[in-house]
Amino acid sequence: MDLKLAGKTALITGGSKGIGRATAELVAGEGCNVVIVSRNGEALAETKSAIARKANVRVDTVAADLSDSASVDRLARAYPDIDILVNNAGAIPGGTLLDIDEATWRKAWDLKVFGYINMCRAFYALMQKRKRGVIVNVVGNAADTHDPEYICGVAGNAALAAFTQSLGSVSAKDGIRVVAVNPGPVVTERLVGLMKKKALDRTGSADSWSDLLKPLPFGRGATPEEIAAAIAFIASDHSGYTSGSVVTIDGGLSARAHAF
């Protein structure tokens, strides 16, 4: 399917690894210029090189900490004409309410929750002037599963899902679509690292980490490419009547959570 993204420009945060990188590679393959943002300059350079080998598009990289609103403002000034914004930066730590102190909670939310909100505020205003644009917020299914051992992420993701629905419910008047994607477990470097630590704690060996994924739907986690494909489709005109929605991609995990 031709997603008709050729000639457009997508700005993707957290774009040097995992879902962000897979999304950048996919839309670039569709002829979409990309701006990839991450705190890791070395990973950005490697990602840019990988994309440039496969696609004949413009690839810009920006090393920035989006927990700082000044960095968001600089991005908006540098790239006022983007067509697609994919908010994907942020990793909220696991733990119960008593495990996560205030400083850790605030630091995590400054990047993911307030980072997404600030990015939306800055780029929505620019898209509004042109009467077109798409914003995709990559959130997470913890908003639905309510895992008490990931309570900081549960609350943050629930806030972002509701924020997306609220903004996307009225954005059509400005020619803008706003959609959230809620992935379940995705086999990224971060998830593999967490699984290896959990396996080591349980069995004394990190080698059995993949066994911890077997109880998941289809006996595995999602691939970054599967989530990226959904993001790219949602950002395309083929999904032109989609706004204010939360698209959950977790093999049925959150539906199962509601069933019992």
Do the Cβ atoms of 60 and 34 come closer than 8 Å?
Answer: yes
What CA dihedral angle connects 196, 198, 200 and 204, to 10 degrees?
-150
Cα 172 versus chain centre, distance:
22
99: which 2 tokens? Answer: 């495990």
How far apart are the C-alpha atoms of 180 and 85, rounded to whole Å? 12
Residue (of 152, 150, 182, 144) closest to 164 by Cα position? 182
Catalytic option among 79, 124, 150, 241: 150
Question: Which DSSP state fits 218?
Answer: G
Q: Write the Ramachandran bin of 235: left for phi over 0, alpha for psi from -120 to 50, otherwise beta.
A: alpha
Do the Cβ atoms of 223 and 187 come closer than 8 Å?
Answer: yes
Active-site annotation holds for 150: yes
Residue (of 236, 256, 228, 168) closest to 7 by Cα position? 236
Residue (of 229, 24, 248, 233) closest to 157 by Cα position? 248
Do the Cβ atoms of 16 and 42 come closer than 8 Å?
Answer: no
Any idea which residues carry the catalytic annotation? Answer: 150
